[in-house]
Amino acid sequence: MFLYRNEWGLRNKLKRSCWNIVYVLAFKPFGLSFFNFWRLFLLRLFGAKLHPKVHIYSSARIWAPWNLEMDAYSCLAPHVDCYNTDLIRIGAHTTISQKSYLCASSHDISDPCHILITTPIIIEDQVWIAADAFVGMGVRIKQGAVVGARSCVFKDVEPWMVVGENPAKEIKKRILKSDYAKEIEYGS
């Protein structure tokens, strides 16, 4: 019989225990948008690197705030599960939609002790992760990409690409309409 081996040290376990208490008592109950500043303050106390213009909903679950970085105008929507056993970095103007799951770890299935392995997730600027999507460890979602609802992403997504399905595959190139194109289209 093989035993599960846990590599996390006592310090990490204590930090997570403290964070879980703060999350339940002082983070999650403050659900109104007005309290976003309070939620960001608590996350920063635990080491998160957050731009002041970030929005994190009270129902978003963050495993380790010290492994979270978010740039301006990015958002963790309601019920996002941010399992950041390793760094999760979210770029500017990026939305992680409701019920999405960001998972920066897995288990080594070839190891009899089934050890935890982790790799950062990098989500660049202007990305949209649509509702209920899964993003796995080590994935880099490049600028402007869109991950369709309920998709599962296990490898990098190229810039300005729309992906979907399970596992995610390229659907089409994302093309933004410019103001100039709109003027021509409407004959202004």
In sequence order, the 6+-apart residues with CB closer than 8 A to the CB of 143 are 91, 124, 125, 126, 127, 159, 160
**How, if at all, do strands 105-107 and 116-118 pair?**
antiparallel
Element (H, E) at 8: none
pLDDT at 105: 94
Report pLDDT for 143: 97
CA distance 153 to 145: 12
Among 48-62, 68-82, 125-139, 164-178, which is the least confidently predicted range?
164-178
Model pLDDT, residue 1: 47
- Give the pLDDT band (50/70/90) at residue 5: low
Residue among 78, 170, 79, 174 nearest 126 (CA): 174
Q: Could you tell me what percent of the chain has a pLDDT over 90?
A: 81
pLDDT at 133 over 80: yes
Q: How far apart are CA 93 and CA 89, in angstroms?
A: 13
pLDDT tens for residues 140-157? 999 999 999 999 999 999
Most confident of the ranges 3-12, 105-114, 129-138 = 129-138
Interior angle at CA 101, CA 114 and CA 103, nearest 5: 35
Task: Using CA atoms of 137, 141, 146, 149 in order, give the dihedral in degrees to the nearest 10.
Answer: 0
More confident of the two residues 183 and 66: 66
Number of other residues whose CB lies within 10 A of the CB of residue 161? 19
Report the chain's terminal Cα–Cα distance, integer Å: 75
Please give the model's pTM, rounded to 2 decimal places.
Answer: 0.89
Average pLDDT over residues 108-132: 93
* R_g over Cα of the chain: 18
pLDDT digits (tens, 9 = 90+) for 26-69: 999 999 999 999 999 999 999 999 999 999 999 999 999 999 99
Per-residue pLDDT, 147: 98
